[in-house]
Amino acid sequence: MPHAPEPDEDDLDAIAPPQPVFHVEQALLGALLLDPHRVDDVSGIAADSFSTAAHAALYAAIATLPRPDPAEHAKNTKWLDLVLTTGRGQARGLTASYLHTLVQVCPWPSHAPAYARMVEAEHARRHLQTAAERLVHTVHDDSLPYAVQTVLAEADALAAVVDDIANRFPPRAGVLPRTTAPPPPPAPDPAEAVEEEQILLATATAYPSNIDAVRWLLPDDLTLPLHAGLWQCLTALARRNEHVDPVTVLWEAQQRGLLDNGSEPGEVLRMLAKPAGSVERWGERALQRSLLAAAEHAGRRIEAYASDPANTPFQLVVGARRALADIAAVRTRWQHATGATPPQRRPAPTTRAGPPTTTAAHAARSTRVTR
What mean pLDDT comes out for the span 229-257?
95
What pLDDT was estimated at residue 363? 39
Residue 1 has pLDDT above 70, yes or no: no
Residue 37 pLDDT level (bands cut at 50, 70, 90): very high
- CATH code of 43's domain: 1.10.860
- Per-residue pLDDT reduced to its tens digit, 279-319: 999 999 999 999 999 999 999 999 999 999 999 999 999 99
* Predicted local confidence at residue 70, as pLDDT: 87
Beta carbons of 128 and 298 less than 8 angstroms apart: no
Task: Verify that 320 and 206 share a domain, yes or no.
Answer: yes
Is the distance from CB of 32 to CB of 75 less than 8 angstroms?
A: no
Q: How confident is the model at residue 180 (pLDDT cuts 50, 70, 90)?
A: confident
Question: Which amino acid is located at 216 in the chain?
Answer: W
* Helix, strand, coil % over all residues of the chain, rounded to 5: 65, 0, 35
Confidence of residue 343 (pLDDT cuts 50, 70, 90): low
Same domain, 182 and 284: yes
The answer as to whether 98 is a domain residue is yes
Residue 360 has pLDDT above 70, yes or no: no
pTM across the whole model: 0.80
User: How far apart are the two ends of the chain, measured CA to CA in Å?
Assistant: 26
Q: Which residue has better confidence, 230 or 178?
A: 230
Q: Domain check: are 311 and 267 in the same one? A: yes
Position 3 in a domain: no
- Output the domain CATH number for residue 306: 1.10.860.10
Q: pLDDT at position 179, please? A: 84
Whether residue 29 is predicted with pLDDT greater than 70 in this model: the reply is yes
**Residue-range definition of the domain harbouring residue 53:** 13-107
Q: 132 and 99, same structural domain? A: no
Is 50 part of a structural domain of the chain?
Answer: yes
41 touches 356 (CB < 8 A): no
Query: Are the CB atoms for 10 and 329 separated by under 8 Å?
Result: no
Residue 174 clears pLDDT 70, i.e. is over it: no
pLDDT tier at 26, thresholds 50, 70, 90: very high
Q: How far apart are alpha carbons 199 and 281 in whole angstroms?
A: 10
> ∠ CA(276), CA(282), CA(283), 5° rounding?
140
* Res. 364 pLDDT band, cuts 50 70 90: very low
CA dist 55 and 87 (Å) reads: 9
Instruction: Give the largest Cα separation in the chain, rounded.
Output: 95
Question: Do 293 and 348 sit in the same domain of this protein?
Answer: yes
pLDDT reported for residue 28: 96
d(CA 88, CA 15): 19
Q: How many domains does the chain have?
A: 2
Residue 11 has pLDDT above 70, yes or no: no
Is residue 116 domain-resident?
A: no
Of residues 302 and 350, more confidence is placed in 302
pLDDT score, position 178? 80
Determine the distance from the C-alpha atom of residue 195 to the mean position of all C-alpha atoms in its chain, rounded to a whole number.
32
